[in-house]
Structures are given as C-alpha cells and as structure tokens.
Chains A and B, each alone.
Chain A
Amino acid sequence: MAEQQKEQPPSGSRRQFLKYSGTAIGGLVVGGVIGGAITGGFNKKKPAANAPTSPQTGTQPAADYNHATMYFNQRQLQITQAATERIFPKDDNGPGANDLGVAYYIDHQLAGHWGFNAREYRMGPFVKGEATQGDYQSINRNEVFLLGLTAIDNASQKKYQKGFTDLADEEKDAILTSLEKGDIEVINGITGKSFFDLLRNMTLEGVYADPLYGGNVNMEGWKMRNYPGNQMSYAKIVGEDAFAKTNPLSLHDHLATH
C-alpha cells in the first residue's frame, strides 16, 4: 500500500494501515480485503488457476460443473442459447453468449430469489396502469421467461415452420426483432417487448457478471472490454493519462488468495 500511494500512512505502514482501517469499526480488521490491497499490487496478477483453455476457441473450460440446469429443461436451454447468442454473438472481438455460459447464468438466476421476485412487492390488486407506473404483472419473472421462450418457438413455427433453434441467423434475428417491437404477445398483456428487455438485460448480465454466477466464463467477457474485474486499488493509476490494461481478477481469486 505505502509503496503504491504517497498519501498512505508513513513507515510501518502495513501494520498501520491494518490498524487504521479497523479503528473505525472498533478494532475489527477486514483481513482479506486489506490483505488484498497490500499484496495484490496493481498489474501483478497470476491467471486463475482453474481455467484451462482449449486450442479451438481459447475460451472453453475443460470441465465446468456449474454448467448444468436447475430450472430449464433441455429445449428451454437450447432456445435461450440460440437467442442470447444472437444478442451477443461470437465475433473477432471474442466469444459470444454461448461460449460465455450465458444461458446457464440465466437458468441459475431464474431458479433463485430473483426468478421468484422474492424481494419485490407482490400484494394485489394487480392493475394495469400507465407506462410511467411500471410493472404490474402477478406472474413471476421465471414464468414470464418460460412463456417468452414458448412464444419465440411458436412464432418461428408459424413464420418458418421450424423451431427457433433450427432457424438461420437472419431468421432468428427477424423473430427477435418482432419480439423487441412488441409484435409477438407472450401472455395476458405481456408484450414481447417486456420479455425481450428481460432477455437482453440478462444476456448482458451473463456476459459481464462475476464468473461466480455461471456466465462470463474465464472472465472472457471482461477481457474483451479491458475491464479488470475485482481489484482492490486503483489509487496508483487513477490520475494517470495512460490506459492501465490489467489482467482481470474475480471474486474467486480474491477468496482463493487469502
């Protein structure tokens, strides 16, 4: 710490820093965090230990036991994979939603408290108001998602006489575009637009959330945009003109090194 920032406590500083950081909370020291700040100097990172890459894609972990479903059936998983890959496709910049594990991320989220709207107001009456008043549905988010996937598949059958996963890329995009425009109804007044927004937001979350949630495999989402992930200090570089390209770290790294 003291090596990194002039304004840090003077000599004997590591111990001082620990001490001072704990003072305000009655002597408790946040060991891991402070330790990370001291030892995990900027640009001094080792790659994550458990992230072997395959020569083909450069991104696929050898085995990821997190990648199984706790909510979707196989068909639902496949439609989600096909749709999210069109929202965030693989290109010259790097992997797309599939290689990043986005569909597994979505599956895991929908199985948990957020999928069941657990921390949201769920008392009735559920009445449709103005757009400025927000969501009014009594249907849980994870149910909306499954109905949305069915609506995608049905719209594909109707237009192309094929399931969504069998469509060409341009056809998939056409279906997603009508969904986004609200031309496809999901159920009971829920427009394709609300479902599409949910799908798009969850895709970006799966690309960029910490890998602990099942997406952003091997931090490849972060790497594409030079986002350093979980770092303890930028005090040394925040005032600098040069862009500080930094190997990312995850919360797993934070835990593992302490």
Chain B
Amino acid sequence: MATKLPRVPVLIVGMGWIGGIIAAELSKQGIKVVGLERGKPRSTEDYYMVHDELRYAQRYELMQDLSKETITFRNTSKMTALPMRQYGAFLLGEGLGGAGIHWNGQTYRFLPYDFEIRSKTIERYGKKKIPDGMTIQDWGITYDELEPYFYKFEEVAGISGDQEQAAMVGKRSKPFPTKPMTKTPMIKMFEEATKKLGYHPYMMPSANLSEQYTNPDGITRAPCQYCGYCERFGCEYGAKADPVVTVLPVAQKSGHFELREYANVTDILHDGKKATGVKYVNPLTGQEYEQPADVVILASYVFNNVRLLLTSKLGKPYDPNSGTGVVGKNYAYQTNGGSATGFYDDKQFNLFAGAGALGMEIPDFNGDNFDHSDLNFIHGAGIRISQTGLRPIANNSVPKGTPTWGKDFKATSLKYANNYLTVAAQGSSMPWRHHYLDLDPTYKDAYGKPLVRITFDFEEQDRQMIAFMADKTEAIMKEMKPSSIGSSKELGPFNIVPYQSTHNTGGAIMGSDPSTSVVNNYLQMWDAENVFVVGASAFPHNSGYNPTGTVGALAYRAAEGIAKYLKSGGSLV
C-alpha cells in the first residue's frame, strides 16, 4: 500500500535543468515546491576522480541504469521494436541534475525561423515546399516573445560568447553575460577559412564559463580550466553550468523547496480533467508513496515526460494512421553527418586540451539562412569546429584505407593522435507523420510498466541535407590546408548502435491548437490545466542547434506560467 503524504502546492517530476529552474523561480517567490528525483544526490565533490575516460565516457557512470528501464526502437512501424540493451546513439542522464550534468555546455538559441517554421516556409516557397507527411508546425510562440527567457537562462548560467551581435541569428537584447572562450589555433584556422569563403563565423556560446562570474542570484563560479573532460563527465570546478551549481542552491536557500531523491514517479494521478498528484516508489526500499499536489510539472527527459502521460492515460495518444491525437507526436532527433576530417602530417595541435563548448560555428547554412528554392530539403545544419578534448580510447582517427588494427593501425593512429581536425555539421530534424513515440506492447521496466517505443528513421530530406552539408564542410576543411581529407557524404538508416547525439525531441509538443499540440506556449497541458510538461519534449521539430538553450528558455517561460496559474487558475492562453 502506498503511503499517502500531505498535499503540496507544486510538485516537480525530475530535477535536471528544468526542474531546477522552476524550483528556483517559484521558491524565490515563497511558493512551496517539492522536487522528486529518482536518481542519487550529486555534488562537485563526487568528481574528485572524474578524469577517467573509461569509467565515465566508456562505461557511462552518470547515465541511467538500463537494467531498470530503457526504450525500444524500430525504424518503421512494419518492424518489431527491440529494446536498446546497451547505450549507443544517445545517452540518458539520471540523478540530481539529470542530463544537465553530463552535457557539453553548447548553449544556442533556436532561430526566429524555427518558431514559425511552417508559416515562414510557406511564405517564402509556397505550400508545395513541404512534402507529404512532413508535419512541421509553428510553435505557438515567436522568437521575440521568447527572447527575454533566453536571456534569463544565459544570465543564470553565465553563458560565454561574442560581445557583438552575430549575423544571421536571432537578435539579442543584451550581449552574453561573459566574454567568449579562448580562441585556440584550430578555431583561428576555422575563422580564417570561413571568412575567406564569405561566411559569418562566431564563437560557440558556452556554458563552460570563460571567466569568473557572479549571476543575479549571487552564485559565483570559477572559470573553465580547459581540462578536456566535459561531455559525459561532471565538472569538478563547477565551471560548467549545471543545475547543481546554479539553480538548485537557490531553491534550497529559499527555505521553500524540498528535494526528495530516490523518488521514481510511476503514475500521474488524475480525474480525467486535472491531476491530483503522483505516485512514486523509492527504488532502494520499494516503498510506494502517493503525493497529492495542486500543480504537477513533468520535467524529466523527453522519453519519460511522454511515457508518464501515456502510462497514466493523460492526454490523447497520437495515432499515426489517422494523424490524430497528440501525445507521442512529432518525435525528432538530430541529423549528424557530412563532416570532413583533415589530417596534418606536419602540424600538431593540443587536442587533449579543450572544453565542451569551445568552438566556432557558422550560421550560413542553418535554418532558412540560405535559399532552398532549388534544394530538396528545408532547414539546415550548424557547421562547426569544436575542441572538446580528445581522449585516447575513443579518438583514434586514421586516414581512409588504414587498417583498423595491427602494426599499421598502431603507427598511423599514433602519428595522427594530435594531428587531425574535424569540421562537422549538426543537422536539424524534421517531424514526420510516421515518426512517433508510443508504448511498447512487449517490453517492460523494472516496475512492470511498458517501455516507450520509438519509431524513427532518417528520410530523403535528411540525406539531401547531409550531402549538401558535406560539400560545405569539405570546402572549409580544404581552406584549412590539411595534408589529406576524409569526408562522409552518406547517411544510412538511423542505427541505434553508434553514438550520434543526445538531442531527442518532441512527443509532447507545444502549439496554439489543442488538436495538434499537447501544451500551450506556457507549457501548460491543454487537457489538464494543472499539468505542465516542460522540456525538449515540447519541440515540434529539432533545429540545427544543441537544444539546451531553448529548453532553458522554455523552462523560464513555464515557471512564469505556473506562478500565474497558481494565482488565477484556468487556461493561461
């Protein structure tokens, strides 16, 4: 029997960036908030031995324990989905801070085009530009409306970037709070090459913190040491912005926030119109609890936001056959490929040094910043160079034709260990009617609940885009004058085995129409006014950028909406 606990005003499921931001914003206003985190507590103390590639990068120390729960996957609805038994294409965070702990810190804003993608595409190219089955839709909010929330996130996290407005991206109301990261030799080479080609390079906006910084909440953090252990690692300096070193201490200091770790939410309790609370289980003791609440906020990763709605039967599940229903709709990913690697016979770089968001990008082939009239795809990719710190187990690139083991492999991989650079394309991912999330009919988690099932594949749109980007990355690489170049122009079917990107999006998307979206532009659920579903699950498509900046902005937007809702009730739009 579940132990029934006293009612609380605000209950948050998942204590990563979103949970942390909302907890801090509401508790500062004196609103009582309870945060449930299913994983363990974390602090910078835990990262004393963090420079351990095997433990963190190869064995996924900070990631969700897949023995308890995973996802299932198939390329098309004709296939039987199978469980992702070990990590591959993407990594699921767990524990206090969630995926906000192991991220790189690349903190972009999506483009003005993204938020009005359908209208703007039709406006420029006509309706025919959107192929049958591609379900792009406007987000129900514009870039200008979201701008203050973008800045709020950047200010709290101390995002480092160019102090001048970059070309071809959304206009900023204020410069980045801190100066850009150090311009390294490879970044200078990329800058020179892209300028020569007429492009508009800018320093990658970074949560790694270029200089000591005190944010508006009075949190002071030390600068990045460029140690080269960001992605998949926690930052022992607290230099990389994460929820544990930014927003959670603010919530905890307020005296109005209660954090409960080891609290795995299994059900949203509701009466069909409103949520009444949640049921959760302590994974260590097996004890079940029922926690009544006035407002329930889903702030877990994409898959669990959607899964909780589906298993709790809240909202209308998406039906790919009729195209109706909304929960699970518009699952999208990130289309990576078309990179160019240059090998230098006579030039060494300090590739072991770096930071997760140390790099430079051009906006020229992202969004609708270039003419798509004669192209068989819409949107685009961010083309970039990054210096994240190449660790030796995972990074042994050799020129094409080199054996993958033995004497020649050894000699060649050692020769080029510090002598290669990659220009990469991070491509957008459009939603399709037949790409979606639902519940798996066969496979269950440790509590007997169905796993979420992903039906997703790359499309011709993606292949055309990657081929186009491959030409651009190769041309830039050529300007950087390597001894030889390797490039990949082809994009196969989506394969869950090799790591690609932990930028999964959609399934509980935002919009202005309840028949085509799960939440409104305050992330408030159309079908249950006291439930807010926040995160990249709300993205109707994924852009050619890392998602966290936009996730952060949406979290601040939601926090404002929740505070309003607590006062006035009802639908916020």
Interface residues of A (CB under 8 A from B): 5, 7-9, 17, 20-21, 23-26, 28, 30, 32-34, 37, 86-89, 91, 93, 96, 114, 117-123, 125, 127, 129-136, 173, 176, 180, 200, 203-205, 207-210, 212-213, 221-222, 224-235, 237-241, 243-244, 251, 254-255
Least CB distance, A181 to chain B, in whole angstroms = 12
Q: Known contacts A26-B249, A89-B407; can you find 18 more A-B pairs with CB under 8 A?
A: A9-B222, A25-B45, A26-B252, A28-B43, A30-B236, A34-B237, A86-B406, A117-B86, A121-B443, A122-B85, A125-B442, A133-B81, A176-B405, A205-B54, A228-B352, A234-B225, A238-B184, A239-B185
A-B contacts, 9 listed (Cβ < 8 Å)? A9-B222, A24-B44, A37-B237, A89-B410, A134-B84, A210-B54, A229-B51, A238-B350, A241-B185
Answer whether residue B216 sits at the interface, using C-beta atoms and an 8 A cutoff: no
User: Cβ of B497: which chain A residues have Cβ within 8 Å of it?
Assistant: 131-132, 134-135
Answer whether residue B167 sits at the interface, using C-beta atoms and an 8 A cutoff: no
Taking a contact as CB atoms under 8 Å apart, the answer to whether B350 and A25 are in contact is no
Which residue on chain B has the smallest CB distance to residue A136? B82
Taking a contact as CB atoms under 8 Å apart, the answer to whether A213 and B54 are in contact is yes
Cα A221 to Cα B82 with chains together (Å): 38
Q: Given known contacts A120-B66, A121-B67, is B496 in contact with A134 (CB within 8 Å)?
A: yes
Taking a contact as CB atoms under 8 Å apart, the answer to whether A234 and B66 are in contact is no
Cα A37 to Cα B51 with chains together (Å): 13
Answer whether residue B561 sits at the interface, using C-beta atoms and an 8 A cutoff: no
- Among A28, A88, A231, the residue within 8 A (CB) of B410 is A88
Cα A135 to Cα B393 with chains together (Å): 21
B210-242 residues with Cβ-Cβ distance < 8 A to A are 210-212, 219-228, 236-238
Taking a contact as CB atoms under 8 Å apart, the answer to whether B236 and A244 are in contact is no
User: Cβ of B484: which chain A residues have Cβ within 8 Å of it?
Assistant: none
Identify whether the interface residues of A are mostly helix, strand, loop, or mixed. Answer: loop
Cα A17 to Cα B237 with chains together (Å): 10
- Among A28, A123, A127, A204, the residue within 8 A (CB) of B44 is A28
B176-221 residues with Cβ-Cβ distance < 8 A to A are 182-185, 210-212, 219-221
Taking a contact as CB atoms under 8 Å apart, the answer to whether B410 and A93 are in contact is yes
User: Cβ of A230: which chain B residues have Cβ within 8 Å of it?
Assistant: 51-52
Taking a contact as CB atoms under 8 Å apart, the answer to whether A121 and B70 are in contact is yes
Which residue on chain A has the smallest CB distance to residue B236? A33
Least CB distance, A104 to chain B, in whole angstroms = 14
Interface residues of B (CB under 8 A from A): 43-45, 47-49, 51-54, 58-60, 65-67, 69-70, 73-75, 79-86, 88, 182-185, 210-212, 219-228, 236-238, 244-246, 249, 252, 348-350, 352-354, 358, 387, 391-393, 396, 404-407, 409-411, 413-414, 417-418, 442-444, 493-497
Taking a contact as CB atoms under 8 Å apart, the answer to whether A33 and B221 are in contact is no
Taking a contact as CB atoms under 8 Å apart, the answer to whether B348 and A24 are in contact is no
Least CB distance, B414 to chain A, in whole angstroms = 5
Interface centre among B74, B84, B244, B352 (most CB of A within 10 A): B352
Least CB distance, B515 to chain A, in whole angstroms = 33
Cα A8 to Cα B213 with chains together (Å): 10
Which residue on chain B has the smallest CB distance to residue A114? B59
Taking a contact as CB atoms under 8 Å apart, the answer to whether A232 and B220 are in contact is no
Least CB distance, B480 to chain A, in whole angstroms = 15
Q: Given known contacts A21-B238, A134-B496, A239-B183, is B352 in contact with A227 (CB within 8 Å)?
A: yes
Taking a contact as CB atoms under 8 Å apart, the answer to whether B44 and A254 are in contact is no
Q: Given known contacts A24-B221, A209-B53, A234-B225, is B493 in contact with A132 (CB within 8 Å)?
A: yes
- Among B228, B391, B496, the residue within 8 A (CB) of A133 is B496
Taking a contact as CB atoms under 8 Å apart, the answer to whether A243 and B219 are in contact is no
Q: Which 8 A-B pairs have the closest CB atoms?
A: A234-B353, A225-B417, A24-B245, A233-B225, A208-B392, A209-B54, A243-B348, A230-B51
- Among A21, A33, A121, the residue within 8 A (CB) of B48 is A33
User: Cβ of B493: which chain A residues have Cβ within 8 Å of it?
Assistant: 132
Q: Given known contacts A117-B86, A120-B66, A208-B393, is B52 in contact with A5 (CB within 8 Å)?
A: no
User: Cβ of B44: which chain A residues have Cβ within 8 Å of it?
Assistant: 21, 24-25, 28, 30, 33
Taking a contact as CB atoms under 8 Å apart, the answer to whether A239 and B182 are in contact is yes
Interface centre among B81, B211, B387 (most CB of A within 10 A): B211
User: Cβ of A7: which chain B residues have Cβ within 8 Å of it?
Assistant: 210-212, 223
Cα A117 to Cα B52 with chains together (Å): 20
- Among B65, B185, B227, B414, the residue within 8 A (CB) of A225 is B414
Cα A127 to Cα B411 with chains together (Å): 40
Taking a contact as CB atoms under 8 Å apart, the answer to whether B226 and A87 are in contact is no
Least CB distance, B88 to chain A, in whole angstroms = 6
User: Cβ of B52: which chain A residues have Cβ within 8 Å of it?
Assistant: 209-210, 212, 230, 251
